[in-house]
């Protein structure tokens, strides 16, 4: 069961942290809290982005400054679009474990639907079904609350773990393309079919 909640704050990002101006929805699943970014998330996120294992299928590892700039971009996306990538917190421990959510890629070449479900979890939380749990929540939110018609997900062909999560989250393989100087595969789910198989 997903629980939706909204709160209000003022948007800022500085070395000391970040907050929001306008409504931001939180999602709760059985084991996860998908919530807005906080100041204390910046350091664990920077450590995660500096881990070559975590970043294996991303463009590169990032410095702390680069990861902070990325978080600023995530917050700007929320301001501009009204949705975006959440921080993921493990409910049982309160630990920061990564990010999950929806991002619009205006440069996506395959059709008019450009909202991607994306995620990145820290290594200790792999292999426990948490990415699938969070992905299902974000896809459900995109269809049920935002009214999106299609949600996509993109990865490198060799990223077998992410491709499994895409399938478990109800997305199906749609093809290969060239995007941002990489050969990628992409998956998609359509709202009219969402839930037809019990998702």
Output the CA torsion sign for 16, 79, 171, 154: negative
- Return the structure tokens found at 92: 């049982």
Q: Which CATH class is domain 3-193?
A: alpha beta
Concatenating the DSSP letter of every residue in 4-30 gives EEEE---EEEETTEEEESS-EEEEE-S
Burial class, 96, CB count within 10 angstroms (exposed 0-12 / middle 13-18 / buried 19+): buried
Residue 91 region, left (φ>0) first, then alpha (ψ -120 to 50), else beta? alpha
**What pLDDT sits at residue 79?**
87
**DSSP per position, 27-55:** EE-SSEEEE---GGGHHHHHHHHT-TTTT
pLDDT at residue 7, rounded to an integer = 38
Q: Alpha-carbon Rg of the chain, whole angstroms?
A: 16
CA gap 172, 132 in Å, rounded: 14
Residues of the chain under the 50 pLDDT cut: 1-17, 198
Integer CA distances (angstroms), 18 to 41, 75, 139, in order: 9, 8, 25
pLDDT of residue 193: 86
Q: Please report which helix (H) or strand (E) contains residue 79, including its range.
A: helix 64-81
Which residues, in sequence order, are bridge partners of residue 184? 177
Model pLDDT for residues 49-89, shown as the tens digit of each residue = 999 999 999 878 999 999 999 998 999 999 899 999 999 99
């Amino acid at each position: 069961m997903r629980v939706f909640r909204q709160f209000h704050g003022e948007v800022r990002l500085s070395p000391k942290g970040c907050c929001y101006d306008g409504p931001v929805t939180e999602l709760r699943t059985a084991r996860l809290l998908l919530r807005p970014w906080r100041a204390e998330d910046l350091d664990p996120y920077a450590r995660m982005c500096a881990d070559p294992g975590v970043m294996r299928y991303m463009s590169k590892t990032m410095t702390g400054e680069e990861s902070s700039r990325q978080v600023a971009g995530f917050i700007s996306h929320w301001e501009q679009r009204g949705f975006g990538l959440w921080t993921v917190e493990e409910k049982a421990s309160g630990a920061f474990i990564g990010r999950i959510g929806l991002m619009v890629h205006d440069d996506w070449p395959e059709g008019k639907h450009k909202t991607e479900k994306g995620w990145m979890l820290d290594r200790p939380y792999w292999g426990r079904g948490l990415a699938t749990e969070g992905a299902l929540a974000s896809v459900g939110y995109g269809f049920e609350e935002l009214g999106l018609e299609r949600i996509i997900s993109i990865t490198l062909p060799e990223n077998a773990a992410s491709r499994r999560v895409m399938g478990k989250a109800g997305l199906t393989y749609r093809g290969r393309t060239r995007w941002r100087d990489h050969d990628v595969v992409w998956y998609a789910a359509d709202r009219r079919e969402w839930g037809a198989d019990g998702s």
